[in-house]
Chains A and B, each alone.
Chain A
Amino acid sequence: MRVSPKLSADRVSALALLTFSLGYSYLAANIALFPGGEHQVFTARTLPIGLSVCAVLVSLALLIQSFLTAGAVSVDNVPLRWSRGFALCALMVFFGMGIPRLGFIFSSGLFLAAALLVMGERRVYVVLAVVLSITVTAWFLLGYVLDMYLEPGLLGEILG
């Protein structure tokens, strides 16, 4: 019998949630308490342990349910262009990594330009217009009008 993609998505997600719940339970049981804290009525562990029990039970129920029902087709369960998604995720991570090195403004410009290219925008003047307008506005509005700290990064420090 061929397993439908929806069915396997249900099973995989239920298994992932069960794993997450078990991991959470393990960490909850190991939350450090003050000496004698375990005799208190309510500790830092009380709610997490209660939630762990609920989470494990509900995720088990979901797993059993995934074997019993075929489920409805998800509205989001459509062919997706994963390469584009991963490229954008990678850009977001590089944006985060770039801030302490290249500074906020320069990283922002690079992120926007690269994201526009990944999304298929090939017109140079559009890319330049978006990047320049957003970064200059952000620099002026955040840095000067709202007086917020904008990370200069190593590059900013080198350039003075």
Chain B
Amino acid sequence: MIDGILIGLTTALTPTNLMMVAGGCLVGTFIGMLPGLGPISAIALMIPVTYGFDPAAGMILMAGVYYGAVFGGSTSSILINAPGVAGTVASAFDGYPLAKAGHAGKALAIAAYSSFAGGTIGAVLLLIAAPVLSKLALGFQSPDYFALMVLGLTAVAAFAGEGQILKAVMMTIVGLMLSTVGTDAAEGLPRFTFGRLDLIDGISFLLLAMATFALSEALIAAMKTEETASPSEEKASPTIGSLKLTSKEVADIAPTIGRSSLLGFFVGVLPGAGATIGSFLAYGMERYIAPAAEKVKFGFGALRGLAAPESANNAACTGSFVPLLTLGIPGSGTTAVMLGALLSYNVQPGPQLMTDHPDVFWAVIVSMYIGNFVLLVLNLPLIPYISRILLLPRKVLTPLILFFSLVGVYLVSSNHVDIYIMVAIMLATIGLRIANYPVAPIILGFILGGMMEENLRRSLELSDGSYQFTVERPLTLSILLMAVIVILGPLVSKILSTRKRVANDHQI
């Protein structure tokens, strides 16, 4: 392995390849910031550019673009509540409130540090455990995936405030319902399309995320009167705040980053799970284990609430390379595009990659780490400039957010009907927000809905329609038990604390 790392370092640390990774990070950051253009689009755009390169240089450039695009996506999530990709949705929950409160600099710095730490831990785990983990990941079967999706849905508890659990559950169901719109994946039958071709592909994630987050937020901000909008809101954020973290804040988020990185990496290793589930699970886990005083801060700018999804999604991105490099199975959309790029270089990923093309294998792993480092070095100084977008007056910023959100969705589909659907969803979201419904569970349900249906279908078909599959495999049962604990845990602890209080009152 040491020889391999040395090969990787020798390949990745040449001046040309260092320029590749730096250029890739910068380009990726700017592409990732545009709604609608996530890591997949950014890497796909790079494929023609890298045709003439040698495989290692091409993959190094793409690794840089990948990390840059993930960080760029987090930037738009945090600054304008516009998560362009599913993996950065959870970053908006606490990142955007922090930016609104005038701490955009700190929020972006935490995102950068957490991403760096998550990527670093992921890269180390990739170096050490890639072959073993790929075998473990292959052991996951449909019932286990289904159980994992159920566990992912229990993260809904993290979005429910006091007395809001029913509302959060309802919103998750609405998200699941929206995920069933379009052509049924297994049988090819149209569902809820009203005979319209515009709905045959279903509702896109981007459309839903932009309508529920960016558009509704921008419109509510635009509708606030001078009396109801605070002076800071009227002028957007008056400051971007300091980038510096106090030692107490670092000590507070460090364990969160460690835990979330490990969780994110292992979820990322599972083909199909990826950064989105990793980030939601990490957010849910952190809220679940946080002390009561910290728990209430989640959703209102908790530092842990931002650090958790950021480190988890970056670690999961690294984890998704495990099945690609060791088995030749792309674990996510992005790695599928990378697989295509590798094949175009006549490099076949899989068990033989390490022996046939050790320079490519190790260079990609090492360049991931270098990409993380370069991203931190390049982007930290850029944060004050990127954050300046918040200094624009609200009457200029709001039309720009509306425009970029609409255009981001329209350009992906080139279908103007998507704009009408967005407006309809945005109006419904505003109504729900006025009635105090949390909207994040809609996205959670929507993202997990398709995968959950697919795995439930396979599981039921394999077990001949019996729900015994939920208890047949120890792994499935363990994951489902974890889900039950996550849902019932807070309820049980509440009952216990009430009993304790009553007992204490009686003693007094």
Taking beta carbons and an 8 Å cutoff, which residues of B are in contact with A?
A: 45, 162-163, 166-167, 169-170, 173-174, 176-177, 180, 184, 186-187, 189-192, 219-220, 222-225, 227-228, 394-396, 398-400, 402-403, 406-407, 410-411, 414, 416-417, 419-420, 422-423, 426-427, 430-437, 452-453, 456-457, 460-461, 464-465
- Interchain CB contact under 8 A, B180 and A51: yes
Q: How many residues of A contact B (CB 8 A)?
A: 71
Main secondary structure of the interface of A (DSSP, over half): helix
Query: Quick one: which of A42, A54, A75, A130 contacts B396, CB cutoff 8 A?
Result: A130
Given A41-B464, A42-B461, A74-B433, A95 contacting B223 (CB threshold 8 A): no
Task: Say whether A154 faces chain B, with CB atoms less than 8 Å apart.
Answer: no
Task: Say whether A22 faces chain B, with CB atoms less than 8 Å apart.
Answer: no
Apart from A47-B453, A138-B407: 11 A-B pairs, beta carbons within 8 A: A9-B435, A47-B176, A48-B180, A55-B170, A62-B166, A69-B163, A97-B416, A99-B416, A112-B399, A115-B402, A121-B396
Closest Cβ of chain A to B36, distance in Å, is 10
Closest 7 CB pairs of A and B: A96-B419, A115-B399, A13-B435, A74-B436, A119-B395, A44-B184, A41-B465
Tell me the nearest residue of chain B to A94, going by C-beta. B419
- Interchain CB contact under 8 A, A76 and B436: yes
List the A side residues contacting B167 at CB < 8 Å: 62
5 contacts across the A-B interface (CB closer than 8 A):
A69-B163, A76-B436, A80-B223, A111-B403, A151-B416
Query: Quick one: which of A62, A72, A99, A111 contacts B170, CB cutoff 8 A?
Result: A62
- Interchain CB contact under 8 A, B173 and A55: yes
List the B side residues contacting A93 at CB < 8 Å: 419-420, 423
List the B side residues contacting A6 at CB < 8 Å: 436
Tell me the nearest residue of chain B to A80, going by C-beta. B223
Task: Say whether A155 faces chain B, with CB atoms less than 8 Å apart.
Answer: no
List the B side residues contacting A96 at CB < 8 Å: 406, 410, 416-417, 419-420, 423
> Which residues of chain A from 38 to 66 have any CB-CB distance to chain B below 8 Å in the complex?
41-44, 46-48, 51, 54-55, 58-59, 61-62, 65
Closest Cβ of chain B to A143, distance in Å, is 11
- Interchain CB contact under 8 A, B434 and A44: no
- Interchain CB contact under 8 A, A79 and B460: no
List the A side residues contacting B422 at CB < 8 Å: 92
Contact with B along A67-95 (1 / 0, CB 8 A): 00101101111111110110011001101
Tell me the nearest residue of chain A to B423, going by C-beta. A92
- Interchain CB contact under 8 A, A92 and B163: no
Query: Quick one: which of A43, A54, A74, A80 contacts B187, CB cutoff 8 A?
Result: A43
List the B side residues contacting A80 at CB < 8 Å: 220, 223-225, 228
Task: Say whether A159 faces chain B, with CB atoms less than 8 Å apart.
Answer: no
- Interchain CB contact under 8 A, A88 and B219: yes
- Interchain CB contact under 8 A, B411 and A148: yes
- Interchain CB contact under 8 A, A44 and B225: no
Task: Say whether A16 faces chain B, with CB atoms less than 8 Å apart.
Answer: yes
- Interchain CB contact under 8 A, A142 and B411: yes
Query: Quick one: which of A42, A46, A130, A149 contacts B400, CB cutoff 8 A?
Result: A130
Closest Cβ of chain A to B308, distance in Å, is 23
List the A side residues contacting B180 at CB < 8 Å: 47-48, 51
Closest Cβ of chain B to A10, distance in Å, is 6
The interface centre, meaning the residue of A10, A33, A46, A85 with most chain B CB atoms within 10 A of its CB, is A85
Closest Cβ of chain B to A58, distance in Å, is 5
List the B side residues contacting A43 at CB < 8 Å: 187
Query: Quick one: which of B169, B224, B225, B419 contacts A92, CB cutoff 8 A?
Result: B419
List the B side residues contacting A69 at CB < 8 Å: 163
- Alpha-carbon distance A74/B229, docked complex (angstroms): 15
List the A side residues contacting B398 at CB < 8 Å: 115, 119
List the B side residues contacting A65 at CB < 8 Å: 166
